[in-house]
Structure 1
């Protein structure tokens, strides 16, 4: 797993490459914690190069939902493959998280 960090004026972006599983979820957890210390309004997760997500990976994202909401930081995931998106939909997570097709769609969430 490789995590590339991008910072925009109001958004902190985690670009995930590879597999988000039990062996890599702690690093994503750490990066989300760092994002929450920044003065950003939005946390975006770029999933374009995410090939696999396990229950541990899903758990990391879910575990931060309450804190992000309490701090008024919106979470937007974008660029998911159909396989990854299906996992979120099967578990009903698309009702808890904003999932959009592209970064441009994430930008539209700002308006």
Structure 2
């Protein structure tokens, strides 16, 4: 399994639209990408965070069967079509989505069943 933590930033004044679009992306990934094991999106909570993140930050926590499954997600029709339709909602660099990404190898942890659907 391969995990990733990424951060995106929605464009100024586009936060509600960005969250709505991202919720649709989650539904599509869940439906069409069975090798995506986890795809959780979060908005940042500035109050209490150290250091405080920008208010327009979106945090992804994802897990895939393997690197191929991640690459298939990133280059596949669900994500690429969604991105083509929604790129303007996010901060860009040279016309491409501006993103930070860090791969991780899980060595311990759990997800309680109560978290499913939250």
TM-score above 0.5: no
Output the TM-score relative to the length of structure 1. Answer: 0.30
| Higher RCO structure (Cα 8 Å, ≥6 apart) | 2
Q: Which structure is larger by alpha-carbon Rg, 1 or 2?
A: 2
More strand per residue = 1
